[in-house]
Structure formats: C-alpha cells, structure tokens
Amino acid sequence: MIEPMSAKQYILRETVVSIFINIIINSGVFLLVFGLAGPIPVWGMGKLAFGVVPQAFMIGLMITLISGSLTTMKLRKGRIARYEGWSMLPRSLIGSALTVAVASAVICAGLACALLFLVAPSELSWLNAFIFNLIFSGLVAFVVTPVVLRSAMRA
C-alpha cells in the first residue's frame, strides 16, 4: 500500500496550484471587464475597487467548494493524511464555503480597498491595475487555501 501524502506536503502543493489557477482565471475576468486599454478607474460602481469584493467572495467560495470536495475524496481514499489540528469552520461544505466566501470578501477586499485608498489615485494605468489584480488574486488564494484544506483534512 502507498503511504498517504503528509498534510503539510498536500497543503503546500495545493496552495501553489490554487494560487496559479486563481491568477489565471482572474486575469481572464479582468480582461473581460476592463479590456486591454487604460487607464482603469479605481473608485465607483463597476470600477477596480468595487470589483475586489465579488472577486474575493468568489475565490473563497470556489476554493472551498472545489478544493474542499477534492480533499475530502482524497482523504476518504487514504491518499492524504489527516490534519491534526482544529478549525473554526463549520463541518458542512456549504457552511464552510459561505463562511470563507463572506470572510474573504470582508477581510481581503477590505484590506485591498484600504490599500487602494492609501496609495492609488482616482485611476491606475492598465498595467498597474492588471498587476494589482494578479497580486490580489494570488494573495487571496494564498490565505484562503490552507485554511480550507486544514478544515477539510481535520480529524
């Protein structure tokens, strides 16, 4: 029988994969919403800062639903080891997904908007807005994925 992957190895690997997937997906969404030309307005309905709220919500929701489901299946099949720790997330997948999505939207988007408020003018060049979007997507995945995986893997 093959030894299951350790929780630490699995969380690290899946977090890296999640970061890249979210950067790619959110780059595509950015291009659909803002196109290839700038400058990009920062404040107001449908502008850059407004967009981080649904972006953070969806990243949190989809990471929890997809990674949580896949992790639970791998755990049941004995491919990965259980995480020996605790989690504040609900045991149900839907409860966890909604909790993570709302927390992600409030905390991550709130911090991003605060940062934009402190450093951004009323608009950013297309490139700066795109880079901001890439970094934001990657950071949300970096924060959310290990939390979700630890919860899904807990004993």
pLDDT digit string (tens) for the chain, length 155 residues? 678 889 999 999 999 999 999 999 999 999 999 999 889 999 999 899 999 999 999 999 999 999 999 999 999 999 999 998 888 999 899 999 999 999 999 999 999 999 999 987 899 999 999 999 999 999 999 999 999 999 999 85
**Alpha helices of the chain — where are they, by DSSP H?**
7-34, 48-62, 68-76, 93-103, 109-119, 126-153
From the centroid of its chain, how far is CA 148?
10
> pTM for the full model?
0.92
d(CA 110, CA 117) in angstroms, rounded, equals 10
Can you tell me which residue has the tokens 């699995």?
10
Whether 94 and 61 have beta carbons less than 8 Å apart is answered as: no
Assign 43 to helix, strand or coil: coil
